[in-house]
């Protein structure tokens, strides 16, 4: 299907739009009633109340006449009773309307439905009952006259009864047709389908695509006239006038008293009907496939109440028990990318989402993955003088009695570091380099001759930076091998106490191994910048700059102790000391007694196929604008936290949104659910998807909402986002109940923050890194994205909130027993992500605030200046940031004062400006040659740590390199992209000089 950017989307197959559906959807937007019409509408309602009252008085008069004269006819009296009843119902519906308007009755979807049902169908039935009454009244009068003057013969009675039956049958048929024309469910193949849009308080009329050719043959306005005017208004009124005219003629033969009473009642009835019917101004009957924006403030308030009702329905539908069942099912098997288990999981997800009614597509990619030998474990050994092993690591983790023996633990991949090469390295030199950060290596140069590091092996602890950067830093110093371990100081405090670690707590046991990837790139390393499809050229594995070149292996901290106690050298600084008992931490050198250290790795590299799964609910108004919710389904283990938690919530959100769809809700924009493959290997699946559809996603994605390790604890929520989403996130947090306490997430933040409402500094991270599936959307598509996680805020400082990360102990038992026993944290995450998505897909004006970006830029500039040499000139950057504030303020003011929200084209223009703002900060050439995959000039990881997003990363890296010329060049480049963002916010009608 072609879109306004000239591209096609049929290959992605996210929504198949047929020609006839496109044709049916091409209708003009229609502006809603003006202020004057709305006032007239309320005046008309008051007049209708008066008319109905007069009509009721007329009916009462007729009943009085029947009871006090010989003018008696049973069907006539029964019809009067029915009509009086329906008139009362109409009076009740009108009173109901004004009670809702005054907020005496809450304005919700249920109350609106009651009102529309009472008003609409009581009106139709009353009109046609009055037609039947007119016919019956004429027949009754003729019958009474014939009886009074003794002209009643058996033949005349038979003729009267025959005429009466035929007329009543005809009128009943017309009544049935009228009801059919008004009710969408009674005639599913009607020309135009009518439904109430719960999020907008509107009746939306949509051409039926199944009657495409009939719709082309019959003008939609003609059908509207037939359906809504003739059956509802014109036909019954015309019949009523005709029969009552005949009746007035017949009244001349009645006695004077009876004639006067009946004549008065008829005049009151017809007069009231005509005034009530034609005195009420009507709104436009134009057909629209989009919402009709209502300018009137009262109607806007009513729509807001309906919107709040929809949000509350969504929140109530999210079920913690459903998420728990999802996670329990997901953690019964392993999920290593590129394996049969992985393929089966993708097929299972696709099948489940199809059952829920999503439009599902599977996107395969052939990518380079890494695996350890299934036979020979990777081991670290201490060798004696004769090169015989005196200690060897086990290359596996310990099982515990508490572990569920029904789980396939044997299927869990052996501990290894993905993409590190196979081979065996050995050295008599072993150095301890703390966390192997750039600062750690620079410091150790002051302690030992850096040439001593050449040919050595180093041991360092997990933490601070990405494991791949640790290995990369070591490689630069000529080191031949790296040993990583999880030090108990960070992963198992009180490790000397019995029962302080797993299986009795969330802390790392002494034989726990953190698996992980060492790839220094997001995506497939053989097809950088391009999708890993069968037609794509692939780079050579040899000398590939993104693959580590030296051997590396992780071990348990029990095994690390056996190595560290054999080291020699100077004692380390206090901040380098770990938590191992009876270990003297030293910088290292030659091992004791001429011993040597050896690492044996048996890893292999293989190209294997992985599968992303995408499920779509197509938007009704802007199907070419996408809001995405994503989580990866691969794992190094059973994946209870990483990322079974995300997929379990994703499944629940699919269920909830489909429930809303079944209740006649449909999003304004398209909503996509994403299950990503091979995230653990280096964000592979999602990046390949973004690379394949970069042009489309780069222009159409509104926001990507990521769920990766969403629950590490249950005490407080932390958010990571684009600054544009700051205020939006605050608003959402005020609507979600926090787990296990009687307060909202926002109230919980304020309480933890000692009453300070400036919660962003404590619980928000502005700017996203590149360590999860938002990487491709941040750095390639350029959308404004969001991620979140529940943690415990009572952790000891420096202790990981998720100590069992990537170990085999990530089981359902771990989550249920130690982290979120009632799954309330999972539920809060689902409600938060879901409400974000619901709002972004359905709200008219996107809730992005450009002025928040200005404050973020100011903070980043202050931080950058604080670490830069005094000689660096930041004037141009400062001026650009100041101009950004001015233009952002003008933009927000323009939205508040001049934006016509009833004009869909104006809304589209403003929303596109908000969407393009984040994209304006992207450098298509990348932030550096070494990091060409990182394009966001404001927020991106530095060269030395892909875990965290730095502000102005290219400037910061240049400062760290102490290259002042490059620093000034990078400042000018960042200034240019900020000015590009300024131009995006200007009035789009002209290109203004900035």
pLDDT score, position 248: 52
Average pLDDT for the chain: 81
Neighbours of 546 (CB within 10 A): 21
Both tokens of 663, joined, read 């209740």
pLDDT score, position 499: 82
pLDDT score, position 23: 35
Asked whether the beta carbons of 736 and 729 are under 8 A apart, the reply is: no
pLDDT score, position 990: 65
Helix, strand or coil, per DSSP, at residue 737: strand
Neighbours of 558 (CB within 10 A): 18
- Name the DSSP letter for residue 208: -
Find, among 700, 711, 621, 676, the residue nearest to 364 by Cα: 676
Neighbours of 850 (CB within 10 A): 24
Distance spanning both ends of the chain, measured CA to CA: 37
- Name the DSSP letter for residue 281: -
Exposure of 675 by Cβ count < 10 A (0-12 exposed, 13-18 middle, 19+ buried)?
buried
Asked whether the beta carbons of 964 and 807 are under 8 A apart, the reply is: no
Q: How many CA atoms, within 13 angstroms, populate the side-chain half-sphere of residue 411?
A: 19
Residue-wise DSSP of 467-517: HHHHHHHHHHTT--EEEEE--HHHH-TTTTSTTSSTTSSSSPPTT----EE
Which distant-in-sequence residues (6+ apart) come within 8 Å of 738 by Cβ?
A: 717, 744, 745, 747, 748, 828
Helix, strand or coil, per DSSP, at residue 900: coil
586 bridge partner residues: 571
DSSP H or E run through 650: helix 644-662
Angle at the Cα of 465 from the Cα atoms of 460 and 468, rounded to 5 degrees: 75
Give the residue ranges of DSSP H helices in 406-448.
Answer: 438-444
CA-CA-CA-CA torsion sign (772, 774, 778, 779): positive
pLDDT score, position 187: 37
The reported pTM is 0.75
Chain segment 225-261, per-residue pLDDT in tens: 454 445 445 555 555 556 555 555 555 555 555 555 5
Query: Residue 674 to residues 333, 404, 652, 701, 903: CA-CA distances in angstroms?
Result: 20, 30, 13, 13, 32
Chain segment 7-38, per-residue pLDDT in tens: 322 233 333 333 333 333 333 333 333 343 34
Listed as ranges, residues in the chain with pLDDT below 70 are: 1-91, 93-94, 97-98, 100-103, 106-303, 794-798, 990-994
Find, among 623, 889, 718, the residue nearest to 16 by Cα: 623
């Amino acid at each position: 299907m072609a879109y306004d950017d000239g591209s096609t989307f049929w290959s992605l197959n996210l929504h198949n739009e047929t020609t006839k559906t496109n044709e049916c959807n091409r209708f003009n937007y229609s502006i809603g009633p003006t202020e004057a019409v709305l006032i007239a509408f309320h005046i008309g309602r008051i007049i209708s109340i008066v008319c109905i009252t007069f009509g009721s008085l007329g009916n009462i008069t007729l009943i009085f006449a029947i009871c006090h004269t010989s003018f008696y006819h049973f069907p006539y009296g029964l019809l009067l009773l029915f009509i009086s009843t329906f008139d009362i119902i109409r009076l009740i519906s009108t009173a109901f309307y004004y009670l809702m308007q005054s907020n005496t009755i809450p304005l919700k979807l249920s109350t609106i439905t009651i009102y529309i049902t009472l008003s609409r169908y009581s009106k139709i039935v009353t009109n046609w009952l009055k037609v039947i009454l007119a016919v019956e009244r004429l027949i009754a009068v003729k019958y009474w006259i014939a009886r009074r003057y003794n002209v009643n013969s058996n033949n005349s009675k038979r003729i009267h009864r025959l005429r009466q039956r035929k007329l009543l049958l005809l009128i009943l048929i017309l009544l049935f047709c009228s009801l059919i024309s008004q009710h969408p469910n009674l005639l599913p193949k009607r020309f135009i389908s009518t439904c109430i849009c719960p999020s907008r308080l509107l009746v939306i009329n949509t051409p039926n695509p199944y009657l495409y050719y009939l719709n082309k043959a019959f003008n939609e306005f003609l059908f509207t006239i037939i359906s809504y005017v003739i059956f509802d208004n014109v036909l019954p009124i015309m019949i009523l006038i005709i029969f009552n005219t005949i009746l007035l003629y017949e009244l001349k033969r009645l006695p004077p008293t009876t004639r006067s009473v009946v004549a008065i009642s008829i005049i009151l009835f017809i007069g009231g009907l005509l005034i009530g019917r034609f005195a009420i101004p009507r709104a436009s009957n134009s057909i629209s496939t989009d919402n009709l924006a209502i300018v009137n403030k009262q109607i806007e308030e009513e729509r807001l109440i309906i919107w709040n009702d929809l949000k509350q329905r969504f929140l109530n539908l999210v079920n913690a028990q459903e998420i728990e069942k999802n996670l329990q099912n997901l953690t019964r098997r392993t999920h290593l990318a590129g394996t049969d288990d992985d393929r089966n999981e993708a097929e299972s997800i696709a099948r489940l989402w199809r059952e829920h009614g999503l439009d599902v597509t599977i996107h395969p990619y052939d990518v380079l993955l890494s695996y350890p030998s299934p036979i020979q474990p990777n081991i670290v050994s201490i060798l004696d003088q004769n090169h015989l092993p005196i200690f060897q690591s086990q290359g596996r983790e310990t099982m515990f009695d508490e572990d569920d023996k029904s789980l396939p633990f044997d299927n869990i991949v052996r501990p290894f570091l993905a993409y590190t090469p196979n081979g065996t390295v050995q050295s008599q030199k072993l150095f301890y380099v703390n966390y192997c950060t750039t600062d750690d290596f620079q410091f150790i140069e002051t302690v030992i001759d850096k040439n001593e590091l050449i040919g050595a092996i180093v041991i360092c602890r997990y933490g601070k930076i990405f494991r791949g950067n640790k290995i990369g830093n070591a490689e630069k110093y000529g080191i031949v091998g790296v040993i990583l371990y999880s030090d108990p100081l960070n992963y198992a405090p009180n490790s000397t106490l019995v029962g302080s670690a797993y299986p009795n707590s969330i802390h790392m046991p002494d034989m726990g191994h953190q698996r992980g990837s060492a790839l220094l790139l997001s995506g497939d390393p053989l097809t950088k910048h391009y999708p890993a499809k069968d037609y794509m050229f692939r780079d050579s594995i040899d000398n590939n700059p993104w693959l580590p070149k030296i051997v590396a292996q992780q071990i348990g901290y029990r095994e690390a102790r056996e190595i560290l106690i054999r080291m020699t050298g100077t004692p380390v600084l206090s901040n380098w000391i770990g938590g191992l008992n009876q270990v003297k931490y030293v910088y290292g050198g030659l091992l004791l007694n001429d011993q040597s250290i050896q690492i044996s790795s048996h890893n292999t590299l293989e190209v294997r196929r992985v599968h992303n799964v995408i499920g779509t609910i197509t938007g009704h108004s802007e199907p070419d604008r996408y809001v995405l919710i994503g989580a990866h389904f691969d794992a190094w283990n059973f994946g209870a936290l990483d990322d079974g938690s995300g997929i379990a919530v994703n499944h629940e959100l699919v269920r909830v949104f489909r429930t809303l769809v079944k209740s006649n809700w449909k999003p304004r924009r398209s909503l996509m659910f994403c299950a990503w493959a091979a995230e653990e290997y280096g964000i592979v699946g999602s990046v390949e998807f973004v690379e394949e559809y970069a042009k489309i996603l780069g222009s159409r994605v509104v926001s990507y909402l990521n769920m990766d390790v969403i629950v590490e604890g249950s005490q407080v929520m932390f958010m990571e986002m684009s600054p544009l989403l700051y205020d939006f996130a605050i608003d959402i947090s005020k609507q979600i109940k926090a787990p296990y306490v009687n307060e909202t997430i926002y109230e919980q933040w304020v309480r933890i923050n000692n009453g300070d409402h400036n919660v962003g500094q404590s619980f928000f991270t502005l700017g996203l890194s590149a360590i999860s599936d938002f990487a491709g959307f941040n750095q390639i598509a350029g959308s404004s994205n969001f991620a979140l996680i529940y943690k415990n805020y009572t952790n000891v400082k420096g202790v990981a909130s998720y100590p069992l990360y990537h170990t085999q102990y990530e089981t359902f038992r771990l989550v249920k027993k130690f982290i979120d026993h009632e799954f309330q944290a999972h539920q809060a995450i689902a409600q938060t992500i879901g409400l974000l998505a619901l709002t972004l897909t359905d709200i008219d004006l996107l809730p992005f605030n450009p002025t928040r970006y200005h404050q973020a830029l100011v903070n980043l500039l202050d931080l950058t200046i604080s670490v830069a040499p005094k000689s660096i000139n930041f004037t141009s950057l400062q001026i650009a940031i100041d101009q950004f504030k001015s233009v952002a303020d003008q933009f927000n003011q323009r939205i508040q004062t001049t934006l016509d929200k009833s004009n869909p084209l104006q809304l589209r223009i403003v929303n596109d400006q908000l969407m393009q703002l984040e994209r304006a900060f992207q450098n298509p050439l990348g932030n550096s040659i070494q990091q060409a995959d990182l394009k966001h000039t404001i927020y991106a990881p530095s060269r030395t740590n892909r875990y965290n997003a730095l502000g102005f990363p290219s400037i910061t890296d240049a400062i760290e390199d102490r290259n002042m010329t490059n620093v000034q060049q990078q400042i000018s480049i960042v200034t240019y992209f900020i000015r590009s963002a300024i131009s995006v916010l200007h009035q789009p009608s002209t290109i203004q000089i900035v």
